[in-house]
Amino acid sequence: MAQSSLTPWIDSYRNVKAWCMTGYAKTNGAYGGTFTNTPNQLQFDTINYCDGFNLRIHVDTQLLENNAANTSEDRGAIKFTFIEPMKDTKYKVFVKGMGNLAGTIFHPHMINDPIRYPKTKQGFYIRAMAIQNLSAVQVYNYRLHSPYPNSNQRLMVVVI
Amino acid sequence: MSSSSGFYGSAAQSSISCDAWGVARIGNINAGQTSDNAFGVGVSSFVRVGEGEYLLTLSNPERYGSGLWALMYTREQRDDLTSHPHFGTNYVGAVGQTFQSPWSYPSTTQAVNQQYIGNYRFSSPAGTSSLSGGTLEKVDGPDNDKVRLNYAAFCFRGDTYPYVPVVENLINYSSEMTNWTRNANDHNLSLSSELVAPDGSKGYVNVFYEGESSATDQRWIYSSYIPFTPSASVGTDLQNRFITGSVYVKAGTRYRGRVLIYDLSNTFFGITFNLNTKTVSSTTNYATLTKSSIRHVGNDWYRIEFTGFYNQNATTAAGAGIPHANRAVMAINIADDSGNLVYAGLRKELYVWGAMVNFGTFAPDYSNHNYAFDDRYDYATGTTSGYLTVDGLIRGRQTDKIVSVPGASGYGITGATYSSHVHNTLMSRQITAYGTLVIPGISGENVGGAYVEDMYNIRNYNGVSGGKFSLYDIHFGTTMDNENYCVIASLETEPDTFNESPTSPPQLDEFAFVQIRSGLNGKFKTVNSFRLEILRLNKKIIDTAKGYSVQQTNERRDRAKTDRIHFMVFGGKNTYGAP
């Protein structure tokens, strides 16, 4: 499982509780794949952990939840957990996306649902959407995937 | 308009800091307006590089040498328009978004301390006012200083010394030496749960002990190979490359020993030490020791530091006087009371903590590196490996940090400012307020249902009437000294259930845009308060109906969906350290 070190950097005075940076890729391409808007297909494939502190990404859970999403009930989210749990749930998650020059907005946010996506001392969930254009294709872009080949989209997460 | 009570319990956590923050102006070049950085700390420049494209350059590039830093950003809209055509068809609008150059790094156009910023609008197809089928366009700002970008950069690699290159501890399991290799079985290590390490922690002091009445032998442990090979700029040739080793030792029932940088064949440099006399002595073979020292750091702990280099190198296996290519480990011996490395053991012990190896000639403060390198994903090879050699996706290379100095090897950009800020100006990077605005999912017209929680230097909020529960003024606990601050906001929301058919639009307003609505000339972003606005994507934009793509709406609230907006503030103070 991809995860970050427990090691605070030597500039730990910042008191940032956790952070990480991710990348996205589709399985049919190292940096992205052919975009498809078929909703029954797995729309994202992998989210790759680049580096971070005190966070891990549950790739398996993420995939499972997205498969389940095809029942039309839910479309999944990425699960993040802390390596060292928080003492309470008062932490604040700041998440931003990074798109590419091709013109895709990559728009993530944290979701908090007490049943399916609870924010706990152990972790939280993030869901994202990629807006490529405003036609129907957008419907299928709200899940975590990379609509453009070589789009190099990624998440930047800071927890304070 | 109303406010909640009990908002004075701010818990100070002011030591949260970023590396740089600022506010940039996005102008309309067609009207002769420029885009630039309005104010900030640790920022070199913000320039327009194309239609809707801007390049942010941060100062102190040595901070960003790893390429692993995050840019948090929030759009700021400075007008009084009641609707939001900025995002729509007839008006040039913007959604703050960072993006990254597809060009591989290093590049002469994007350095490690730079980030491209995109400015987008939703655009309808030509000849129609419907957004259906429209696209995203990169555009400049709508008018002079109507759109700003608030941003804060977080770099997570060391910058304790702003004037020196970033250095990484190259040893795996630098504190859990129980993962190191022993040369024989008549000695071992265990982690003490009681002994206090030099940094005050417990649990990671290594008790290095010899076997009892064991045979005459040498007792030493060594780390895994120092990983330096993947980066072409670092190379694989150790010859004449300065390597510095350091480790903390404390006398138990043994007080003498040896520490080496060693190729596990016949090439090494290092020191022998005696904690009773507090002395170190050089020991080398086909290598040169250039300096060494031992110093007391408290509680009978001593830090040993030494620097040297191999005299030769080869690409073949080791022969006499020829070290193995690419090989260097740290090796630590116990010695007996006479300093003999080969002796009969008596179950005596020595305490060891905090090993570090780095390239270069100085030993920086210890940084823990108690994990395997293969925790990191390698985009270059598509595998998890020991290194972050990333081309194109993540700029920078983990191992290149040691040479990421301003202006060298593409890390610098001609014309940019690279003057480092003095150390104590880090204070101006401290957070000056933060909190979470909670907008509960309650139907009705009472804006007072919202509240602020878990805040610092935040007094209360005011819901703004007529804003459809989308406008909120956040008041500081202590008045800011000036209006030059940035606000970073991020949404936490109760997810919508996608209970429509897979081919139908989901409830897109789950994906809200949070921005600062500072109003004309920034009148709602003052020393007393700032105004947040939460705008929902209107799913009509993907239907055939007309409609703005982004709007204020109470739909989510009426569906009993709770939104939270986390925010943090940097700047606004003449004197930092206290709100």
> Does B498 contact A74 at a Cβ distance shorter than 8 Å?
yes
Q: How far apart are CA B26 and CA B143, in angstroms?
A: 8
Residues in chain A: 160
Average pLDDT, integer, range B449-467: 80
Give the range with max mean pLDDT: B91-105, B303-317, B344-358: B344-358
Q: Which amino acid does the sequence have at B407?
A: G
Rounded to whole angstroms, the Cα distance separating B171 from B27 reads 49
B191-195, B287-291, B400-404: the lowest-pLDDT one:
B400-404
Contacts of B511 in chain A (CB under 8 A): 107, 109, 129, 142
Other CB atoms within 10 Å distance of the CB of residue B451: 17
User: Model confidence at B492, in pLDDT bands (50, 70, 90)?
Assistant: very high
Summarize pLDDT for B369-419 with one digit per residue, the tens.
765 443 333 333 444 333 332 222 222 223 322 222 222 222 322 233 333
Smallest CA–CA separation between A76 and chain B, in Å? 10
Contact flag B434-A160 (C-beta cutoff 8 Å): yes
Mutate to test the interface with A, among B498, B500, B504, B570 (most CBs of A within 10 A): B498
| Contact residues for B383 (Cβ-Cβ < 8 A; gap 6+) | B377
| pLDDT, tens only, B131-174 | 555 566 677 877 888 888 999 988 754 333 222 234 567 787 88
Tell me if A92 and B510 make a contact (CB, 8 A cut-off).
no
Rg of chain B over all Cα atoms, to the nearest angstrom: 29
Answer whether A127 sits within 8 Å of B495, measured CB to CB: yes
Q: Is the peptide bond before B440 cis (omega within 30 degrees of 0)?
A: no
Q: Which of A24, A37, A38, A139 to mutate to test the interface with B (most CBs of B within 10 A)?
A: A139
Distance CA B495, CA A154 (A): 21
**In chain B, residues 19-48 whose CB comes closer than 8 Å to chain A:** none
* pLDDT tens-place string over residues B511-558: 777 889 999 999 999 999 999 988 776 554 444 444 445 667 666 666
Q: Is the dihedral of CA B153, B157, B162, B166 positive or negative?
A: negative
- Find, in chain A, the residue whose alpha carbon is nearest to that of B72: A96
The shortest CB-CB distance from A72 to any of B17, B154, B502 is to B502
> What is the Cβ-side half-sphere exposure of residue A121, based on CA atoms within 13 angstroms?
5
B460 vs B13, more confident: B460
Reduced to 3 states, what is the DSSP secondary structure of residue B184?
coil
Say which amino acid occupies B283: T
Whether residues B393 and A74 touch (CB distance < 8 A) is answered with no
Are B532 and B567 in contact, with CB atoms under 8 Å apart?
yes
**Looking at this predicted complex, what is its ipTM?**
0.77
Q: Which of B118, B160, B390 sits opposite A10 (nearest CB)?
A: B160
- pLDDT confidence band for A67 (50 / 70 / 90): very low
Distance between CA B147 and CA B121 in Å, rounded? 12
Dihedral of alpha carbons B506, B512, B513, B518, sign: positive
A105 min Cα distance to partner chain B (Å) = 7
pTM: 0.60
Question: Mapping DSSP to helix (H, G, I), strand (E, B) and coil, where does residue B402 land?
Answer: helix
Considering only CB atoms, A133 lies closest to which of B135, B156, B564, namely: B135
For residues B569 and B433, the answer to whether their CB atoms sit within 8 Å is yes
Best of A16, A98, A120, A148 to mutate (most B CBs within 10 Å, chain B): A98
Q: Enter the tokens of residue B362.
A: 């100085």
**Interface touch A156/B70, C-beta < 8 Å:** yes
- Kindly tell me if the per-residue pLDDT of B338 is higher than 90: yes
Average pLDDT over residues B220-227: 83
Residues in chain B with CB shorter than 8 Å from the CB of A119 are 492
